[in-house]
C-alpha cells in the first residue's frame, strides 16, 4: 500500500504505478480528495525491493502482508504448536519450568542444582558452557568441559538440557548434549548462526534482542524455520528503555501479542531482565499469569559464590516453594499442573 | 560523590573541594591509584546547585542520597501506607479494583456501568469529565455536566469517585464530587497542578509520564506531599519504547521496584497501555500477580458506541467474571479478597 | 484505511463497512487473495471515533490523512513561514540566534549577558523567571521580579524577549514583557496552557516533549494555531533514549523531517540536551548545518556561580567567537548572515 | 563503590567489606549520617564478580573505573589515533569520505561508482558482498563473486576497500580484498567474530548496535584490540528510539562524547539511519560539523534500480557536489581538506 503525498503530481503517481507493474505486481490506485493511495498486489519481496519509500511524491509505504510466513498463526489455522522435547511438553496447555545455573562451574554445583530442579517439578535443565560477556576480560565459560557436566546432569535426572551456542564452530559438541540450543539476545540477528541451527534440526530457544521488535523476532525465527527446523521457542528477556532503575524492562505485553502473531511457544526469562533475586518471583508470577508457555530461570546452591550473575539466581533451597507459586499462576492462565508437562521419571 | 577523571590535575581536585566547602558541605577525597573520588557530605540541594558535572577534571557526579524524602520507604520505617478513601481501602494487604468508563457520556451509561462495577466487587468508580486529547479536534469531555453524573453514581452506589483534573481553574467543581483526583500522564510534571492538589488535600492518583523514570514519578509525588497532602496513589500505565506492536509498553517491573522505593500504594492501568480489550485481562492478571495494590480499568456497557477509547474497554456484561480472576491473582500475591477492601454497602 | 486479518470472516468485513457508513463516511473494500483492506473516506475525526482498532477481524488501522491541518506544509503550498518578532526574523532564509541565561538571577547578570548577546549578533534574548524544576526543593525562579529585569534588558538592547510560562494564572505579567512565550518540554501536552496561549496571540516557542513524536509535537502546535495564533516556533531539545552517557539524545534528524511536515520554523536547543558546556558548540554547529532556523542557547557571565544549569552555559566572554562559527554553519545550510535577521539597532 | 541502603545493618556493611576483601581488594567504608558508602580498591573484574548488586543491604554498585582499557583516551595520554589505511588517512585532522554502493550488484555498477567516488575526493570505497538481511527471503549478496568485483575496483582506482564480514568462515576470501572489514550493527556483540578480527589484524569498522550504549561499543572494540589489532574505527549509524517518523535516530551527540572517551576515530553512517536520500546531505553536513572523523555513505549510478536500499543512496551524478559541501562542514570543525586524507593517485 503506497500512500502518496497530497502534493504528488499525476506523473509521480503514474511513475509509481509503472514501477509496481515492472516487478509483475498489479497496482490499484484510489484517488481520494486529498491523497492518492495505491495498492500493490503481488510478491511482497519484489515490491519491497522497489524501494518506493524514496520515490518522488511518495509519503509512506505501508506493508499489508506480514513478512513472516512459517511463524505466523495462519500457518496452523490458529492452532498452537506443542513441542515434546525429550519428554518435556511446552505450548498449548503445557507450561515448562526451565531452571538451572547461569553458568556451569563445577560437577557438584551442576548435579546439586539439577536434583533441586527435578524435585521441584522443573521440566528442563539449563546451564551455560559458553557465555557471551560484555567484557573480554570476564570469565567466558568452561566450554566442552561444561558440556560434559551438563551431560552428566541429564543422565542423572532425565531432564532435557538447554544450553547456549555462540560460535557455529562449536555446533558439534553442543549437539551431543543439548536438547534445546539457546541463541542469546545479542545473537538474535546472527543470521549465520540461525541458518546453521535451522539445518541442525535441534529445537532452538531464541531470545529477543534488547531492542528488537516482535516482528524482527519472528523474522529471526523464520531463518531457522525456513531450513526445515520447526521447533523454535521464543523468549522475552527484557528490552532496553530509558528507565535506569533496573537492568532491562521486562515486556510482558509481548507474551499475549506474540501468541496472537505466531503459533510458536513463548517463554519468559525473568532473571536477566531483573538482575536481582528479589524481583524474580513477582516477575515469574506475572509472566505465568499473563499466559507464558514457560519460564527460564536461574538458580544456584550458593548464589554468593556464583561465578556469574549470582545476584539474580534464586537460592536453590527456596526453589521448590517458588515453583509451587509459579504453577498456581500458570494454572490461573489456563495451564495444566507442572507434572503434566515434565518428562516422566523412571 | 564526585568522580574525577584519571587525567584530573591536583589543582582541579582542590578546586572541586573548595567549591564543595563553599556551600557549607564537607569534602572527603579518596585518592586511588587511577582516579580520585570526592565524597560531599551536606545538604543535597546545595551540592546539586554547584553544578559540578561541568567542572574541569570532573568525570561524573553520583548522587548518593535519594532526592525524594516524603515519598521514601524510610519515612515510615519500611511500613506501607494504607489509605481509606470513602470506605475503600488500598495499600498493604488491600487491593482496590477501580473501574468505570473512560469518559462520562450520558446518565444511563454512567449509572449502568456503576451498577456493574459495584456488583462485581469494584471498590471505586472512575470516569472522565475533562479529557486530555492529543488532537484539539477531538471530543474534550462533558465538563461540569459530567461531574454531576459522577455525583449521581456515587449517591446511588456508595462507590468513591476517581476523576481527572487538567486545569487548576476547574479545581472547585471537581472537589465537589471527586474522592480521588487523577493527574494524567501528560501532566505528571505540571508542577502548578501538583502544588494546587497538594494544597487541596484530596487523595491524588498520579500517573507515570510516558517516559518518566521512577525517580521522577516520586519527585512529582513529592510536589503533592510537600504541601501536606499525604494521600498519593502512584500509577503505572505504560511507557514509550521502540516497540510499535502496541501503544505503550506496560512496565510491570515498576511495581515491585516502586514498592521498595516508596511507602505509597502502586496501581496499574492496563487499559491505556494496551489500547485493546483482548490484552486487558492477561495484563490485569499479571499486574495483580506482580504485587500491584490496585488496578484501574475501563469498562463500558457497549464499547462499540463509546465516545472515546472504546476498543480498550471491557464489556460490562463480562466484568464480573474478569473481576473474579483478578481477585485470585491478587490473592496469589498476598492480598485480601476484594470485599475486604471495598466500601461497606448499606 | 482498515487492514483486516487474514482470518477475518465476511461478516466481520461487512460489520466494519457498516460502522464506517454509520458516521457518514464511505467504505471502499479491496479484497486481496490474503487480506481485505477497507478504505474509509470521510471526516478523519469521525472515523477515528469508531475505534475500529479493537473490532473483531481488524488487524490494524492505518491513518492516511495527517491529523494536523494548520501546521501542515500543504497549508501554505510548500512555502515556509517567516516570522518577524520585534524586528527579529526567523524562518526561510532567516536564522535566529536566541541566547541568554537559563535563569534570571540579578540585574547585573541579566544586563551584562544581554549586552554580550547583542554584540555577538544574537537576535533574541532568553531568560527564565518561572522555572519548572524536577524537585520541589529546588529554586523555582524570581517570578515577576525576574520579568521586570527582562523588561530592562529589552529596553536597553532592543532584543525581543523569550521567556517561559508555566501557569496560566501568570499570563498577564508575562505578556507585559515577552515577545515569545516558551512552553517547556514537560508542558508540551498541557492543553490548558496551549489553548490560552493560542488566545493570547503572542508568538510561542513550543519545546518537544522528552518522548513526543513529531506528529504529537505538531498536534500540540495545532492547539495554539486553532485559536488563531499563527506564530508557533517548534523546538527540538533532546529526547529520552536508553543511552546514559548524556542527559538527552539530541535528535537532529527531526529538523529536516519537521521542515518537510510543517511550514513552521524549527529551532534547536543544544544546551539542555547536552547538559555540558563542551558539547554545546559542536552540537550547535551540527544543528545549524542540518538546517535549523535558529538555536536557543544558554550563556552566563560566570557559569560557576549560576543558580541553575551552570554546567551547560557558555561562558559569555567566549560567546562572540561561538556565534561567528554558528553563523558559518548556518550559511553552509543556505541561511543569510546573522545581521540580516537581527533587529535593527538604533 | 558500593552504596548501602539507609536501612542497612552493621552486619550487612561488615559482610560486604568481608566479601570485598575475599577477592584481594581493599575496602574503604565512609559512614555518613544517612548512608554508608564503601570504596573497593582492587581488580575491577574481581570486584565485579562478587555480584554485590544483590547483596542484603546494598542499594547500588557504582563502578568508578572504566571497563575499557585499550580503547580509552588515557591509553594515549589524550592523543588521538590516526590510521593510514592503504594511503587513506583517518583520525586527528584527517577526515575520510567512505563511499560506494550498499550492495555489489554488477561489474559495471561497481566500477562506475568507484570512478565517481574517486573523482569526488572519496578516500575509501565501500560495497557489500555479504548482506545481513532482516528477512531470510531477501537477497543475501553476491558473496565471493562480489568480493572479486571489489578487487577490480581497487585495482582501477587505488581506493582502499571497506566490506562487511558476517561469518567467520568467510574470513579468508574477505582478507584477500578488504582493507577495512566492517562489522554490522547486528553483529556488534558477536564476540566470536570480533575475536577473529582481532587476530586477523586487518582494520575494523565497528558499527554501534541499535541499542548499544557507548560503553558497550567500546567494550566490543576492546574484544578486537585485546587480540593485538589496534585499528578499530567506531561508527554511529542510528539508534532505536520511540520515534517512528524515521528508521533510526542518528545520535550525533555520540561523536564528541566518544572522542572524549576514546582515542579511536569515529565515523558516521547517515544513509542507514535515514533510509531516505533527501535526509542524507543535511545529516552528513551535521555529522561533519559535529566533529566526525569520517562519513560512510551510499551512492549508486541509478538508485531506482538498486537491488538493496536504493531509497537511501545518493545519485552518483550528484556526488561530487555533495562531497564538496561535506568537506566545507568538516573544515569548519577543524579538519584538513579531503585531498590531504585521500590516497595519492598515480
B254-285 pLDDT, tens digit per residue, is: 999 999 999 999 999 999 998 889 999 999 99
CB contact under 8 A, B332 and A332: yes
Position with higher pLDDT, C62 vs A334: A334
Interface check for D30 against chain B (CB to CB < 8 A): the answer is yes
Contact present, B138 and C43 (Cβ < 8 Å)? no
Interface check for A63 against chain B (CB to CB < 8 A): the answer is no
Beta-sheet strands, E only, within chain D: 2-4, 26-31, 36-41, 58-61, 83-85, 88-90, 96-100, 124-126, 161-164, 180-183, 204-207, 232-236, 266-268, 294-300, 314-315
Say if residue B312's pLDDT is above 90: no
Q: Give A57 to chain C, closest Cα distance, Å.
A: 12
What confidence category does residue C49 fall into, taking pLDDT thresholds of 50, 70 and 90?
confident
Residues on chain C touching D253 (C-beta within 8 angstroms): 246, 249-250, 273-274, 279, 283
Outline which parts of chain D fall under CATH 3.20.20.70: 73-340
Position with higher pLDDT, C125 vs A74: C125
**Residue A46 burial by Cβ neighbours in a 10 Å radius (0-12, 13-18, 19+):** middle
Report the SS3 class of residue D76: helix
Nearest residue on chain D to A219, judged by CA atoms? D135
Rounded Cα gap, residues B75 and C123, in angstroms: 50
Interface check for B26 against chain D (CB to CB < 8 A): the answer is no
The number of C-beta contacts closer than 8 angstroms across C and D is 119
Lowest-pLDDT range of B24-28, C73-77, C305-309, D272-276 = C305-309
Say if residue C54's pLDDT is above 80: no
Give the mean model confidence (pLDDT) for residues B290-314.
90
The number of residues making up chain B comes to 346
What confidence category does residue A346 fall into, taking pLDDT thresholds of 50, 70 and 90?
very low
Of B3, B33, B74, the CB nearest to D7: B74
Interface of C with B in 223-262 (CB under 8 A): 223, 226, 240
CB contact under 8 A, D242 and B211: yes
Position with higher pLDDT, A46 vs D343: D343
Pick the closest to residue A124 from A175, A83, A166, A92 (CA basis): A83
Pick the closest to residue C169 from C130, C218, C212 (CA basis): C130
Of C256, C278, C333, the CB nearest to D279: C256
Give the mean model confidence (pLDDT) for residues A124-145.
92
Give the mean model confidence (pLDDT) for residues B65-79.
89
Give the mean model confidence (pLDDT) for residues A5-9.
90
Say if residue C32's pLDDT is above 90: no
Rounded Cα gap, residues C199 and C222, in angstroms: 12
Give the pLDDT of residue D345. Answer: 64
Lowest-pLDDT range of B47-51, C108-112, D13-17, D340-344 = B47-51
Average pLDDT of the residues of chain D: 93
Pick the closest to residue C279 from C251, C306, C313, C330 (CA basis): C313
CB contact under 8 A, B41 and D62: no
CB contact under 8 A, C252 and D252: yes
The number of C-beta contacts closer than 8 angstroms across A and D is 125
Q: Give C80 to chain D, closest Cα distance, Å.
A: 18
Interface check for D9 against chain A (CB to CB < 8 A): the answer is no
Say if residue A54's pLDDT is above 80: no
CB contact under 8 A, B168 and C169: yes
Percent over 90 (pLDDT), chain A: 76
Task: Give the domain D73-340 fold.
Answer: TIM Barrel (3.20.20)
Percent over 90 (pLDDT), chain B: 76
Interface check for A321 against chain B (CB to CB < 8 A): the answer is no
Interface check for C285 against chain D (CB to CB < 8 A): the answer is yes
CB contact under 8 A, C214 and D282: no
CB contact under 8 A, C37 and A64: yes
Q: Give C242 to chain A, closest Cα distance, Å.
A: 4
Say if residue B345's pLDDT is above 70: no
Interface check for A192 against chain D (CB to CB < 8 A): the answer is yes
Of C51, C134, C226, the CB nearest to B136: C226
Interface check for B134 against chain D (CB to CB < 8 A): the answer is no
Say if residue A30's pLDDT is above 70: yes
Give the mean model confidence (pLDDT) for residues B113-123.
95
CB contact under 8 A, A216 and D306: no
Residue B161: all three cell numbers together: 469517585
Of D214, D250, D257, the CB nearest to C252: D250
CB-side neighbour CA atoms (13 Å) of D282: 24
Q: Could you read off the pLDDT of D148-206 as tens digits, one per residue?
A: 999 999 999 999 999 999 999 999 999 999 999 999 999 999 999 999 999 999 999 99
What confidence category does residue B346 fall into, taking pLDDT thresholds of 50, 70 and 90?
very low
Give the mean model confidence (pLDDT) for residues C148-169.
97
Per-residue pLDDT of chain D (346 residues; tens, 9 = 90+): 899 998 899 999 999 999 999 989 999 898 887 889 998 888 888 888 888 887 889 998 988 888 999 999 888 888 999 999 999 999 999 999 999 999 999 999 999 999 999 999 999 999 999 988 888 988 889 999 999 999 999 999 999 999 999 999 999 999 999 999 999 999 999 999 999 999 999 999 999 999 999 999 999 999 999 999 999 999 999 999 999 899 999 999 999 999 999 999 999 999 999 888 999 999 999 999 999 999 999 999 888 888 888 888 899 899 999 999 999 999 999 999 999 999 986 4
Interface check for A32 against chain C (CB to CB < 8 A): the answer is yes
Of B213, B244, B245, the CB nearest to A242: B213
Domain A2-61 top-level CATH class: alpha beta
Any chains having at least 3 CB pairs less than 8 A from chain C are: A, B, D
Position with higher pLDDT, A308 vs A300: A300
Of D244, D283, D291, the CB nearest to C282: D291
Report the SS3 class of residue A124: strand
Buried residues in B106-136 as b, exposed as e (16+ CB within 10 A): eeebbebbbebbbebbbbbbbbbbbbbebbb
Nearest residue on chain C to D248, judged by CA atoms? C253
* Region class of C336: left (phi > 0), else alpha (psi between -120 and 50), else beta: beta
Any chains having at least 3 CB pairs less than 8 A from chain D are: A, B, C
Residues on chain B touching A278 (C-beta within 8 angstroms): 256, 260
Please name every residue paired with D163 in a beta bridge, in sequence order, or none if there are none.
D181
Q: Give A334 to chain D, closest Cα distance, Å.
A: 33
Of C169, C186, C276, the CB nearest to B54: C276
Interface check for A1 against chain C (CB to CB < 8 A): the answer is yes
Q: What values do phi and psi take at D20, rounded to 5?
A: -60, -45
Give the pLDDT of residue A41. Answer: 85
Residues on chain B touching C276 (C-beta within 8 angstroms): 53-54
Position with higher pLDDT, A115 vs C63: A115
Contact present, C333 and C94 (Cβ < 8 Å)? no
Residues on chain D touching B242 (C-beta within 8 angstroms): 211, 240-242
State the residue for C-alpha cell 533441586. Answer: A116
Rounded Cα gap, residues C11 and C58, in angstroms: 12
Outline which parts of chain C fall under CATH 3.30.70.1140: 2-61
Say if residue C346's pLDDT is above 90: no
Of A249, A286, A332, the CB nearest to B290: A286
> Best of C105, C191, C213, C307 to disrupt the B interface by mutation (most B CBs within 10 Å)?
C191
Q: Give D296 to chain C, closest Cα distance, Å.
A: 17
Pick the closest to residue C316 from C298, C293, C299, C341 (CA basis): C299
Amino acid at each position: 500500500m503506497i500512500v502518496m503525498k497530497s502534493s504528488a503530481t499525476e506523473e509521480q503517481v503514474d511513475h509509481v504505478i509503472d514501477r509496481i507493474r515492472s516487478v509483475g505486481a498489479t497496482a490499484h490506485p484510489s484517488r481520494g480528495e486529498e491523497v492518492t493511495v495505491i495498492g500493490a498486489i503481488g510478491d511482497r519481496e519484489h515490491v519491497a525491493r522497489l524501494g518506493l519509500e524514496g520515490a518522488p511524491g511518495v509519503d509512506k509505504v505501508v506493508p499489508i502482508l506480514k513478512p513472516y510466513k512459517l511463524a505466523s498463526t495462519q500457518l496452523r489455522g490458529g492452532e498452537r504448536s506443542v513441542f515434546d522435547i525429550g519428554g518435556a511438553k511446552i505450548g498449548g496447555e503445557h507450561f515448562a519450568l526451565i531452571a538451572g545455573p547461569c553458568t556451569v562451574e563445577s560437577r557438584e554445583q551442576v548435579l546439586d542444582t539439577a536434583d533441586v530442579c527435578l524435585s521441584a517439578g522443573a521440566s528442563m535443565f539449563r546451564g551455560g558452557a559458553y557465555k557471551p560477556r560484555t567484557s573480554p576480560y570476564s570469565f567466558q565459560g568452561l566450554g566442552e568441559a561444561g558440556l560434559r557436566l551438563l551431560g552428566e546432569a541429564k543422565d542423572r535426572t532425565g531432564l532435557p538440557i538447554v544450553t547456549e551456542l555462540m560460535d557455529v564452530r562449536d555446533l558439534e559438541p553442543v549437539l551431543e548434549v543439548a536438547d534445546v540450543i539457546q541463541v542469546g539476545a545479542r545473537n538474535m540477528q546472527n543470521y549465520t548462526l540461525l541458518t546453521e541451527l535451522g539445518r541442525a534440526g535441534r529445537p532452538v530457544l531464541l531470545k529477543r534482542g534488547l531492542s528488537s521488535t516482535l516482528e524482527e523476532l519472528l523474522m529471526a525465527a523464520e531463518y531457522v524455520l525456513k531450513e526445515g527446523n520447526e521447533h523454535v521457542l521464543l523468549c522475552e528477556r527484557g528490552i532496553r528503555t530509558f528507565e535506569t532503575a533496573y537492568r532491562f524492562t521486562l515486556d510482558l505485553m509481548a507474551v499475549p501479542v506474540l501468541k496472537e502473531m505466531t503459533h510458536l511457544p513463548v517463554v519468559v526469562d525473568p532473571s536477566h531482565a531483573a538482575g536481582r533475586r528479589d524481583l524474580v518471583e513477582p516477575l515469574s508470577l506475572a509472566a505465568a499469569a499473563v499466559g507464558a508457555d514457560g519460564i527460564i530461570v536461574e538458580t544456584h546452591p550458593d548464589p554468593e559464590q556464583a561465578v556469574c550473575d549470582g545476584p539474580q539466581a534464586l537460592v536453590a533451597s527456596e526453589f521448590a516453594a517458588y515453583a509451587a507459586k509459579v504453577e498456581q499462576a500458570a494454572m490461573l492462565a489456563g495451564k495444566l499442573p507442572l507434572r503434566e508437562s515434565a518428562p516422566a521419571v523412571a
